Amino acid sequence: MPEQDELVHLTIDDHPIAVPKGTLIWAAARQLGIEIPIYCYHPKMEPLGACRMCFVEVERMPKLATACTTVVSEGMVVHTSSSKAQKGRRGTLEFLLINHPLDCPICDKGCECDLQDFTQRYGPGGSRFDVSKRHFPKPISVSEHILLDRERCISCFRCVRFTQDVAMENGLVMEERGYKNVIGVDPNAPFDSIFSGNVVEMCPVGALTSKSFRFTTRPWELKKTPSVCGMCAVGCNVRVDVRVDKVLRQYSRTNDDIDDGWLCDRGRWDVALINSPERLRTPLIRRDGALEPASWDEALRLVAARFGEIRERQGARAIGGIGSTHVTNEEAYLFQKLLRAGLGTNNVDHFHGRFPAAGKNDLPWVWTDSIAGLDGATHIVLLGTETYTRQPIVDLRVRKAIRAGARVWVVTPEPQRLDRLAAGTLRYAAGRTAAVARALLSIVASEGLARSEGEQTRVTAERVAAVAARLAGETPERLAERAGVDVAALRRLAREIAGSAGAVILYDELATRELGGETLAQDVLDLALLTGNFGKPGAGCGPLLGAANSLGARDMGVLPDMLPGYRPVTDPAARAALGGAWNASIPSDAGHDYDAMLSGVVKGLYVLGADPVRHASLEQRARLEALDFLVVQDLVLSETAQLAHVVLPAVAYTERDGTFTNTERRVQVVRAAMQKLPGARGDWEILVAVARALGLSWTYLDPAQILAEIGRIVPIYSGVTRRALGMEGLRWPLSPTEADGKRALAGSPFLTWEMLEQGVSRPASAGAGAGGELVTPSGRSE
Amino acid sequence: MAETIDTVAHDEQQLPLGPSPKFVTANIDVPGIDRLEVYRDHGGYQALEKALKGYQPEQLVDAVKKSGLRGRGGAGFPTGMKWSFLAKNTGKPSYLIVNCDESEPGTFKDRMLMELLPHEIVEGTIIASYANGVHHAFIYVRGELAYSGVQMERAVEEARAAGYIGQNLLGSGFDLEITVARGAGAYICGEESALMESLEGKRGYPRLKPPFPAVVGLYGGPTVINNAETIATIPAIVRYGADVYAAYGTEKSKGTRVYCLSGHVNRPGNYELPLGTPLRTLIEDYGGGMRGGKALKAIIPGGSSVPFLLPDQLDTPLDFEGIAAAGSMLGSGGVIVFDEDTCIVGAVARMSEFYRDESCGKCTPCREGTFWLVQLLERLEHGEGKASDIELLNDICDNIAGKVFCPLGDAATMSITSSIRLFRDEYLHHVRTGGCLVGPGARRVAVAT
Amino acid sequence: MISDDVKQQMREICARYPEPRSGTLLCLHLAQEQEGYITPEGIAAVAEVTGSKRDEIESVVTFYSMYFREPPGRYVVNVCTSISCYLGGCDHLLAHLEERLAVRRGETRADGRYTLRGVECLAACGMAPVLQVNGEFVERVTTESADALVDRLERGETVASAPGAWNVLADGRPQDTPTVSGASVAEDAAGSGRQQGEKAR
Ligand SMILES: Cc1cc2nc3c(=O)[nH]c(=O)nc-3n(C[C@H](O)[C@H](O)[C@H](O)COP(=O)(O)O)c2cc1C
Ligand code: SF4
Ligand code: FES
């Protein structure tokens, strides 16, 4: 960015400052800690200049300037609180208040209302308005979740610009004109957007309020904790707002790299499970066929005893564990450690855990680039995804890319919300995602579209030949036919990808589980590699994952064949290193995977935060019922828990500390926002207690200690600590670097060829703990 | 004011086209002049041929600069200069918009040109497009003027059929498309950037400037926008030459313009006169003086968006500088005449309602301020006001003027502040007696003044 | 119902612009012409041909004063109430019409025959006071000529499209009566206008 280098010098209220060319006066003042009040301006949207609140006086300008629209210039002298500027702001506030109902005592927004705050700081002491105010019927329900009070509205246009320009969805619009203008919805175009709640958060007054939050509290009674949303794999940064023992909402705390300041409605309001009256408050033990309350002591002793018996009688391979994508890294790590080191089995996996044939010699199946990288993509191909419902904020980021000119292809079996905005859509037969990817790859290979330039010089003839050999006999036509899609359309798409300056190709992790889906991850990776869409920002490929810690569960080795950090259990060096660190011996054979564990090969099963019954076939369900011993650890009595012999009550992500790793490899700190539900315990605490009941000498006092162990043992997490992750997290591979003579931790925004060739998952030496043996430092090719 | 008359300083004998030529309205009363053949019989489209065959585009821009023509839409910006500011080589197509959204109260010249001389506007549009390297021009006709819209469409179709629009015009290699667009009822859409929004199919909100339309305008391309009368003047400038045009008017306000005379005069109407013609000449000679022999009370010289003038300013020359020196603006050329029976408070209240109703609502001071102003003015007019309302009106105007997003808000304050300055007694009279000072509703209670 | 024919016309309108969305206002006029006012179907049709979301179109509709959101009367009488017509006595005219048409300003008579409205400056200030009947001008209206107009509307006649009664002379000399005059209904029999039947588009 050459513009960044050009600094412009100005003074604001006598403070000199230099800012990049193009900076708004408002932003420059903010850097100096000088507040300029705004209503219509929102840093994530284009300047509008409508509300006239941000007046400043600029020397040699005849009129007051709006700081939100005026760009700095060299030598500019700005006064933010001259009497002229003050009069301007007073005037605006007086205008805004003449029609305002002034019903602050019963307004949800009280204490977080910009109209209250700015009136106090900049407003007139009284009103000269003694004629009649406008009145409107109120409140009006504008959506399932939101109410509108038109009398409180100050026409800042934030909400309409959000729904129209940012979300690009049916939503709020301005209706009528002039003094009659009101916010409204078209009755025939319902405001049903999953992004709707953002308008409530960004409304500077109490005009838009949430039905669920309405009248439940005064905002100052809320306890606000910075954390990470636990509803999906995007990992938006949130502030959890809690009143006593209820989560009332999540607000954004803006991480530009992930959420860009937005949240989806699921993240914002879907707190039903956390607040559920059905939450378990005590362990349960099955007695005479029925689950009955029991003490923690009794339950833990029983778990240890029954697993001990099974191991004794049937061997460790008769025990297995099904882990969760919802628990923290620390808990996932402890879970597999408990099974491997404590119970002596590699039988540990989770639903969607084993990712079929994920490039044995290449990267594990991760997104090679990042969410923010989408901003710079010229092409985005969404393959078998449902981003709008499964990763909403990624979907919103795709919309941002569309605004910036990216061509988006929605390649899915079913129509998607994004279709309307897409440059192209392709429909194929359900369950045939892998064939579509393979067809694209075979077009690239057979049409000679592979590139070999720049970073891509490593696309060697051999690699192309290897791909061709792998695809031998599978023509684009045959593959397209199998996928039920027009081959000509696929060819157009393949050429676009090959000709793009930066394409991102994403698929949903679910697609790898389709019949024949084993080839998908490798084929998409090769598609990106051959077309030069790898190792640079604004390009890349990978899966979009589903749950808050889908990636973390894998990273932590909740997998039958991989140890933490994707080191194969069959690798003696890796086993030795880990065994040494754990002071245990790790079985050398790969464990049973998820499906196997549900097929009767294990007799004792430990289910942590998962509900396999929900996805189970009748036969699998019968196997679960037939288990000798089933322990389930969960928030509520799930369908699986109803079959359990022991149920251990756990807590939600808002009740304990830890870390999650999102779909773009970012490790982030989750913070306890409220007291644990009485009677329930954090998953990590329960795991420690079970381990101790089994006779292991685990001494972890808090999740930070577990994380520190992860930092020592898991190469891609090398050096990780809570402090190093800070408020915004870091993307793995993490590695300590020397910055200014101090040790710092850096993450990698996108993966490079070098990492690919070494295999991020397989450091040259699997020896854990020694800082000198870390994998590739970041930023090599930036 | 004597010297201002002298600003029309030419010896009438030496003027190339006589004392008061008609550059725009020359053939307006020729029956059927709205049809192409008749227009052509009277010299129509000859200027176009001359321009396409005899001039390079830059030469035309220079000629318009030299003519001294200033925009007739309100601001009086020099047209040639506007054209020369059009950004070149932006990689995006450039556009020309002819602003036929005439809605300024007191203004009715563009509608007349559209109804009677549509081909003159079309011819001007083609020449201006050629001069600016524009290949797609838009004529945006105010929605309420249905007949004007029909006339413009028909003229464009006739011109297309005659080969004046389309590919390779008159063998010049120049291609041009003209589209007639229609508004749907919004004064603000006369403002150039709001017009562009409207033309793009949106609500007519003014756009943030910079960027200016000459750089980023319609569809993001560099855009020239001119008033209908401005455009209709172009053929005459080409036809007679810039010098001839510049021989009329005053030093800084060249040529003629069409003044729209309305209100309490005997012969309201449109009169094309050289700039610098004294107000008195327009009102007394052309307008036939005050209706019913009443006395003159006030004049608004440029549409309702400009301040009042008083009878003692009748000798002010109608040119940009002269009217500005007198404390008002020439604006759209709409000269509104008020006689002695007019209640100024009532008239101002009426004008203010217009701005309240036509405010787009984007910016706070205009949206809320006009709402408040009208309530205060109405209460004053109905005799329920307070003395403090007068200062309040002034202060509300101060909180609007210069603080709004676009000139509409400023315009809304003009008649209010100028009338309070010039007719404060009349406001006070309403407060004190509860009725008007003059007119049918006058309440002539003895008041100590 | 927006017929396929009208939809086709809409598409043609949109094709005249670099971006189809520019056709919005004209297409809405067309929809209104077809259905009398802007209906949800009209909005849907315009959204479709312009490639917009329907809420955007709805928002556009409400910005402009010419779009009816409820069925208007058979005759829409718009009386200009801006300053020049105000000076010419439009308030009196409007009050007279309220009485004569038995409908208040801003309203549509219960039998659906008349909608009477006060509107902003119609660019006919020199012929004040003016009104429009279904978009066609009637100028220099007096109470008498207004009554005559209503009489004719009562008989089912229409007001023709025609130029205004312009007060101009090529030599710029003042004159007493308009030389270029159109079908001001007050003077000229309705229907004799030159462009009768031609619809504004
Ligand atoms: C509120 C407002 C309304 C306007 N209305 C018109 C109009 O109806 N016709 C017009 O030509 N210009 C109008 N203008 C001026 C235009 O913005 C623009 O300056 C003009 O069309 C430029 O043409 P010109 O340079 O030929 O005068 C208006 C300006 C404002 C601020
Ligand atoms: S001054 Fe403001 S509200 Fe008024 S018309 Fe302009 S932008 Fe709209
Ligand atoms: S914040 Fe600057 S005008 Fe609204």
Tokens standing for C169? 């002379």
Backbone dihedral angles phi then psi of residue A383, each to the nearest 5 degrees: -110, 110
Query: What is the model's pTM?
Result: 0.92
Transcribe A188-257 into DSSP letters: TS----TTTTHHHHH-SSSSEEETTTTTT--GGG-EEEEEE--SSTT--EEEEEEETTEEEEEEE---TT
Which among C55, C62, C63 has CB closest to A189? C55
**8-state DSSP, A418:** G
Under the banding of pLDDT at 50, 70 and 90, the label for residue B4 is very low
Distance CA B215, CA B228 (A): 21
Helix (H, G, I), strand (E, B) or coil at A463: helix
B positions 206-245 inside 8 Å of C (CB):
219
- Which residues of chain A register pLDDT less than 70? 1-5, 354-364, 452-458, 757-782
- Where helices occur in A447-512 by DSSP H, the ranges are 461-470, 476-483, 487-499
Residue A537 to residue A748: CA distance in whole angstroms? 11
Looking at residue A632, its amino acid is V
Sign of CA dihedral A213, A216, A218, A222: negative
**CB half-sphere exposure, A619, CA atoms < 13 A:** 6
Picking from B102, B166, B164, the residue whose alpha carbon sits closest to that of residue B135 is B166
Contact by Cβ (8 Å): A258, A417? no
pLDDT tens per residue across span A448-503 = 888 866 555 667 778 788 888 989 889 999 999 999 999 999 999 999 999 999 99
Residues of A in contact with B402 (CB under 8 A): 62-64
Q: Ligand 3 in contact with A40 (CB < 6 A)?
A: yes
Decide: helix, strand or coil at residue C190. coil
Cα A770 to chain centroid distance, Å, stands at 31
Q: Summarize pLDDT for B36-82 with one digit per residue, the tens.
A: 999 999 999 999 999 999 999 999 999 999 999 999 999 999 999 99
Task: Give dist(CA A308, CA C153) in Å, integer.
Answer: 100
For CA atoms A18, A19, A25, A27, give the dihedral sign.
Answer: negative
Under 8 Å CB-to-CB from A482, ≥6 apart: which residues?
A: A432, A435
- Beta carbons of A553 and A564 less than 8 angstroms apart: no
Query: Per DSSP, what are the bridge partners of residue B334?
Result: B260
Per-residue pLDDT tens over the stretch C32-41: 999 999 999 9
Q: How far apart are CA A539 and CA A467, in angstroms?
A: 20
Question: How far apart, in whole angstroms, are the C-alpha atoms of residue A715 and residue A694?
Answer: 28
* Surface of B (321-360) touching C: CB under 8 A: 334, 336, 338, 342, 347, 350-351, 354, 357-358, 360
Size of interface A-B (CB pairs under 8 A): 92
Distances (CA, A) of A114 to A53, A87, A93, A198, C173: 11, 18, 11, 16, 62
Q: Is A52 in contact with B403 (Cβ distance < 8 A)?
A: yes
Asked whether the beta carbons of residue C66 and residue B93 sit closer than 8 angstroms, the reply is no
Picking from B238, B49, B37, the residue whose alpha carbon sits closest to that of residue B154 is B37
With CA atoms as reference, report the closest residue to A76 among A12, A121, A139, A21. A12
Q: Quick check: CB of B406 below 6 Å from ligand 1? A: yes
- pLDDT averaged over chain B? 95
User: Does the model's ipTM exceed the 0.85 cut?
Assistant: yes
CA distance B320 to B276: 8
Going edge to edge, which strands form the sheet with A223-228? A223-228, A237-243, A246-252
For the segment B370-391, the average pLDDT, to the nearest whole number, is: 97
- Say how far apart CA B311 and CA B318 lie, in whole Å: 14
Question: For B356-366, what is each residue's pLDDT tens digit?
Answer: 999 999 999 99
What is the number of other CB atoms lying within 10 angstroms of the CB of residue A753? 17
Measured in Å, residue B99 CA sits from the centre of ligand 1 at 7
Hey, what are A590's tokens?
A: 């790969």
Output the six-digit token pair for A632: 């389930």
Q: How far is CA B438 from the centre of its chain?
A: 31
Do A486 and A477 form a contact (C-beta atoms < 8 A)? no
Q: Which residues have C-beta within 8 Å of that of residue B307, sequence separation ≥ 6? A: B300, B327, B328, B329, B414, B415, B417, B418
What is the structure's pLDDT at A319?
98
**What's the mean per-residue pLDDT of chain A?**
92
Query: Among candidates B90, B404, B81, B121, which has minimal Cα distance to B217?
Result: B90
* SS3 state at A409: strand
In our burial notation (b when 16+ CB lie closer than 10 A, e otherwise), range C34-52 reads bbbebbeebbbbbbbbbeb
What whole-number distance in Å separates Cα of residue B22 and Cα of residue A358? 83
Is the pLDDT assigned to residue B282 strictly greater than 50? yes
Residue C190 has a pLDDT of: 33
What is the Cα C169 distance to its own chain's centre? 28
Mean pLDDT score, B286-298: 96
Contact B208 A49 (CB under 8 A): yes
Which is more confident, B89 or B448? B89
Name which of C46, B360, B356, C21 is nearest A175 in CA terms.
B360
d(CA B138, CA B188): 18
Can you tell me the distance from the alpha carbon of B74 to that of B305, in angstroms, rounded to the nearest whole number?
A: 9
Cα dihedral C169/C173/C176/C179 (nearest 10)? -10
> For chain C, what percent of residues have pLDDT higher than 90?
77
Q: What does the alpha-carbon distance between residue A247 and residue A693 come to, in Å, rounded to a whole number?
A: 33
A98, B371: Cβ pair inside 8 Å? yes
Q: Which residues of A touch B364 (CB under 8 A)?
A: 50-53, 92, 95-96, 154-155
| Interior/surface letters B32-50, b for 16+ CB within 10 angstroms, e for the rest | ebbbbeebeeeebbebbee
Residue A769 is predicted with a pLDDT of 36
Q: For chain C, give me the number of helices (H) and strands (E)?
A: 7, 5
**What do you get for the CA distance between the two ends of chain B, in Å?**
31
Question: Does B311 have pLDDT greater than 80?
Answer: yes
Residues contacting residue A570 through CB under 8 Å, at least 6 positions apart: A561, A588, A589, A590
A538: buried, middle or exposed (CB in 10 Å: 19+, 13-18, 0-12)?
A: buried
Q: Whose CA is nearest to atom 22 of ligand 1?
A: B226
pLDDT at A456: 59
Q: What percent of chain A has pLDDT over 70?
A: 93
Ligand 3 pocket check for A489: Cβ under 6 Å: no
Chain A neighbours among C 1-60 (CB < 8 Å)? 40, 43-44, 53-56, 58-59
Name the stretches of chain C with pLDDT < 70: 167-201
Please name the residue of chain A whose CA is at the shortest distance from the CA of residue C44. A188
Q: With a 6 A CB cut-off, is A39 part of the ligand 3 pocket?
A: yes
A230, two tokens: 């636990």
**Which pLDDT does position A762 carry in this prediction?**
47
Residue B269's pLDDT band (cuts 50, 70, 90)? very high
Q: What is the DSSP string of A692-730?
A: HHTT------SHHHHHHHHHHH-TTBTT--HHHHTTT-E
The whole-angstrom distance between C101's CA and the closest CA on chain A is 28
Q: DSSP character for B283?
A: I
Q: What is the DSSP letter of B210?
A: S
Q: How far is CA A45 from CA A42, A72, A160, A260, A265, in A?
A: 5, 18, 11, 11, 20
Angle at C8 between CA C5 and CA C14, to 5 degrees: 145
Q: Is the dihedral of CA A230, A232, A235, A237 positive or negative?
A: negative
